[in-house]
Every structure is written in structure tokens, then in C-alpha cells.
Copies of this chain bind each other. A is one copy, B any other.
Amino acid sequence: MAERPKLSYVVREGDRPNEVSVLLAGFAQRQKHTSEGTRQIMAFSLPGDPLDFECLFLDEADFSVQMAVTGMIACVRTEAIKSLLHDRRELGQAIERTLLADASVAREWVVNVGRRDARRRVAHLLCELLVRAKAQQIETSLFELPFTQEQLADATGLTPIHINRILRQLTTDGAIRRSGRMITVPDWERLREIADFDERFLHMKRAS
């Protein structure tokens, strides 16, 4: 249970942490850097999401986790979780499902950056964030994006300049409305159609 300032790293690629964490408040991002220094974000974490549970089973972290805004995380010693896993099998199943759902999202991101143009790509990311935020009861149709356009660029494999142009285009097309970083979706079906979005890849439970 510790406050984490904006931009602080929770895990760095190559770490072998002896504790894992859950995001309680704020937003975080999973990312990697290429040797040239460019960054690729491969997931945004919302409150309630585990941040680095794969470290429970893999030797070293293959990605970094950085806070996107100031937030709060809960840390648990890996020993504690492992002994819990030893006692309660259903907990292991739950973690397993979460990790594999994360993996499914990563696969969808491969599709997103590999086969969708900038417009669909951004719309798809917005859809994912909206659906996940709704599932966490964060808010509904209007949605405060805590991310800068540079972060959105690194998440979609685009440049911040182009993100800006795409957001403007989506706005003039009526698919979204913006004021500051607040984004409203007046026509959800419209955005979903633009994005080619099918939320099954999120593997969310209906009513758990």
C-alpha cells in the first residue's frame, strides 16, 4: 500500500522482483524500449489490475511498468502469494485466467498495430479503455483520459503528431467529443464500428 508518483517505475525489464503489485488508484503502463530509444506501450493498467504477476512464474520481467499518473499500488511478497497458491487452488486458477486474459489483449494489440490504419487503431484503443473502465465502474460514456497524446502514440505505434490529427478527425466526424483530455463518446456503436471492435478478446466475466 504505497503511493507512487507519476513516471516512477514499478518494475524494470530484467528485474527479478520478490514482490508483485496490484494497482489501487491511478493508471500505469506496460512498456518496452528498443535499442534506439523508441518506446512501445503494450498495455494500460486500470485500478484493480495486477501489474506484474507474470513475475511469479517467469525468471525475470520481460517488460517495464511505469506509473502514468500519480497513483497507489499494493505490494505483496511473492513468497506470500506462492504459499497461498499452495493452499488454495481456486486462487491459482483466478490468477491464471487473469494472466491469460492479459496475453489475449497483447495478441489483439499485435492485430491492432499490424493490420489497422491509424484511425481504426486509435478508435480500437479508445474502445478497449472505455469497456475496461466501465467494467471497473470507473465512469460511463464520458471518460477522462489521463494519458498524453505521446502515450497514446506509443501505445498505437504512431507519432504524437499523427495522434493529434486522428483525434481531431474523429472529433469532426462526430465519433468522439473532447474538452482537454476528457473524451465523450456520443455514439458508442459508431466508434465500435470504426474500430472493428469485438470485446471478446478481453475475456471479461459477465457478472462475477
Contacts and interface: CB of A to CB of B under 8 A. Distances in A.
A50 interface: no
A37 B30 CA distance: 29
A42 B107 contact: yes
A203 interface: yes
A36 interface: yes
B59 A203 contact: yes
Contact of A40 (B93, B101, B102, B111): B111
B40 A114 contact: yes
Q: Quickly give the copy total for this chain.
A: 2
Given A99-B100, A104-B58, A110-B109, A34 B116 contact: yes
B110 A106 contact: yes
Interface in A34-62: 34-36, 38-40, 42, 54, 57-60, 62
A69 interface: no
Interface of A: 14, 30, 32, 34-36, 38-40, 42, 54, 57-60, 62-63, 92-93, 96-97, 99-104, 106-111, 113-116, 156-157, 196, 200-201, 203
A100 B165 CA distance: 36
Contacts of A30: 107
Contacts of A102: 103
21 contacts: A14-B200, A34-B111, A34-B115, A40-B111, A40-B114, A40-B115, A42-B110, A54-B100, A54-B103, A57-B96, A58-B101, A58-B104, A62-B107, A62-B203, A63-B104, A63-B107, A100-B103, A103-B106, A106-B107, A110-B113, A113-B113
Contacts of A58: 97, 100-101, 104, 203
A54 B96 CA distance: 9
